[in-house]
Amino acid sequence: MTKTKPLTPLLKRRLYVFLVCFFLLVSALIVVFYIMDQWKHHIKEKLTELRHLGHEITYTTFSTSFEFDHLLPGIRFHLENVVLEKKPDFRVEAPSLDVRFSILNPTSTHIQFSQASLETLSLPYKITLRDGLGFFNNSKLVFSTTFGAIDIHQNQVPLISLHNISCQTKETSFSYAQMSPQGKEVTATHPALALTIKAEGLAIPFLQTANLTPPFTQLHLNLMVIEPEILRNGLSAPAESLMKWRDANGFIEVTHYSLNWDEIQASGDGTVALDDLLRIEGAGGLSVTHLSELLNKLATMNALRTQDTILLNLGLGLMNTQNHIFLPLTLQGGVLSIGSFIKLDVPLGFFLN
């Protein structure tokens, strides 16, 4: 009978390390699968709550996987043919949707999709999004997103098209002077959401003719939404939320905007709000370079009469503006006025029927 050799100290240490690693691996897998199951159960509970609130939710696939992103563990939910609808308010569709939660930071959410559409059923708007990737903070109005393209339609008519867009937000505050009930000027401070938007292409179909596409090559927009919390649940009742926001003195302060149209460069700032019919109205300033080229393009678009274009070019020559001028902007009653001569019909608004 042969005797088994006793384990050497080196083999004992290796066996001990192996057993510890095996135990840690099994424990980690158990924890991961438990967390995945809990998140899946949590998501389904949330979907059930939405259904009880009148939302209709359908999907054909709901799968769960564990993955690492930048060495950070996370859980990914993959859904296909997703439809979220709440009549008579809105409808959201996405053929494929990936939602990722970080295990170490469960308050953050990453969402990715190739195409999605948002249609407001109570208002005549439909927004189509392509190649979307976004980060959202679940407890705040903070997000960072990129899109390959955004198309906005009103009454099935193309309104605005953006390409290669990036959006970032930051919670802040905004102070401005206003009159108190006693008739004194006081400084009011309101919560605000700072929003930065950049796009490499901006097309406005209702301003275009066949030989002017796409008109704008670059867009940069910095703005602050005053009283943003009122709009947090805007999808559930968009018209009602917009009216509440308007009545609470909500408005948008455009701190800076700039866009390029070929060699023409325009920039400025302004303030935007909603009127009684939920139409967008506002006022601001516009600084424009290469004015002669701009006037010729506007004439081609029939925004200016030929005789007006000639008179304006003559006036610019007499003013010696060096092809640069500052013009006031006003948007009221669906009409955009640029200076005293240019007036454009602008169908931008959330019209009430």
3-state helix, strand, coil in the chain (%, to 5): 25, 50, 25
**What pLDDT does 224 receive?**
92
Q: For position 304, what pLDDT does the model report? A: 64
For the whole model, what pTM was predicted? 0.73
In this structure, what DSSP letter does residue 45 have?
H
- Give me the sign of the Cα torsion angle 243, 56, 146, 200: negative
pLDDT (tens place) for every residue of the chain, 353 residues total? 555 566 677 776 777 777 777 777 777 667 666 666 766 776 777 777 777 777 888 888 888 787 776 666 777 888 899 898 887 778 889 999 898 877 766 677 888 888 898 887 777 788 898 898 888 776 666 778 898 888 888 888 787 888 889 999 888 888 887 777 777 788 888 889 899 999 887 777 655 544 444 456 788 999 999 988 888 766 556 778 888 888 988 899 999 999 887 778 889 999 999 988 888 899 999 888 877 777 777 777 666 666 666 766 666 665 555 567 788 999 888 888 887 767 777 766 654 44
Return the pLDDT at 270: 93
How far apart CA 238 and CA 351 sit, in angstroms, is 11
Listing DSSP states for 1-31 in one string gives -PPPPPPPHHHHHHHHHHHHHHHHHHHHHHH
Identify whether the C-beta of residue 101 lies closer than 8 Å to the C-beta of residue 66.
no
DSSP of 75-123? EEEEEEEEEEEETTTEEEEEEEEEEEEESS-TTEEEEEEEEEEEEETTT
Contact between 113 and 129 under an 8 Å Cβ cutoff? The reply is: yes
Helix axes 291-300, 306-319, angle to 10 degrees: 170
